[in-house]
Amino acid sequence: MEIRILGAADLPACSELAETRSWPREPPKWTLLHDVGQVFGVDAPDGAGLAATCALVPFGSVASISMVLVAPRYERQGLGRAITAHAVAVAGDRVVWLHASKFGRPLYESMGFVADGGCQGHVGKFADDGGPGAVPGSLPDVVALDLAAQGVDRRPLLERLGTPFVVDGGFAFGVDLGHVTVIGPVVARSEEQAKALIRGVARSVPGEVRVDPDFRFPGLIEWVRERGLVPGAPAPRLVLDGRSLPGDPSMRFAPFTRAM
């Protein structure tokens, strides 16, 4: 089955495929992935939507892979492996990374991906503890910090995330994905700054929030649980061939999403 680059008109079918796998539809995330990267797809032979998808988002020397989905009726036909391999080939010599589910991890490890930490999603209504909170800032406040944390220029992504919340030496965004507001990336120089950033975003939005603290920060994970956010399944981060990701990992308290 042919792998093609999907266009904006294909994105509703991506959400429909996600729903068949019990994933949220999240049209804003699919649009963002399309805008800053490439979304690949395989048309279903039976004419009913898509058989598989995969997103690739390159920034400088790195590239992330995400949204590897196969329709249940086309499982165990090699589509997940084929579309992931296609994304890896398009990435070229970049350092390629992804977050894996427990079901996808064996496939990725068989392709040469090696575990390198990870994160865990936490969702719920934030119970404010009254501590200091970040305040709205502007894009120039965050570009250099993100570059230091990630090691690559991600301005095309940052420009699309709205208004950042900032502290001296850190920032976070709050992005409405339709069913939840995602808090991330959370970039800071201390755990207390990270907490202030999460508070600032959570205080500004109605409804539930989601944040995916990195495994490196167990204190932050405990704190978000104390604030009423419920943990989901862990998401190990895997890097192709065990290569090193650039940037300063001590500043990366949470990703924007597992996709980027």
What confidence tens digit (pLDDT) does each residue in 191-222 have?
A: 999 999 999 999 999 999 999 999 999 999 99
Average confidence (pLDDT) over 61-74: 98
Rounded (10°) angle between helices 218-226 and 191-203: 30
110-131 confidence digits (pLDDT tens): 999 999 999 999 999 999 999 9
C-alpha distances in angstroms, 258 versus 64, 184, 197? 9, 10, 19
What's the CA gap between 118 and 106, in Å, rounded?
A: 16
Provide the β-strand partners of residue 115. 238
151-196 confidence digits (pLDDT tens): 999 999 999 999 999 999 999 999 999 889 999 999 999 999 999 9
- Please report the pLDDT score of residue 178 as a whole number: 87
- Please report the pLDDT score of residue 51 as a whole number: 98
Q: Which tokens sit at 216? A: 């490196």
* Domains in the chain with CATH codes: 3-93 (3.40.630.30), 121-235+244-254 (3.40.630.90)
Contact (CB, 8 A) for 224 and 188: no
Contact (CB, 8 A) for 96 and 239: yes
- Please report the pLDDT score of residue 1 as a whole number: 82
1-30 confidence digits (pLDDT tens): 899 999 999 999 999 999 999 999 999 999
- The pTM assigned to this predicted structure is 0.95
Q: What is the DSSP letter of 166?
A: E
Q: What is the DSSP letter of 35?
A: H
Provide the β-strand partners of residue 120. 234
Strands, E assignment, 38-164: 38-43, 50-59, 62-70, 95-99, 113-124, 135-136
C-alpha distances in angstroms, 157 versus 23, 36, 113? 23, 6, 25
87-108 confidence digits (pLDDT tens): 999 999 999 999 999 999 999 9
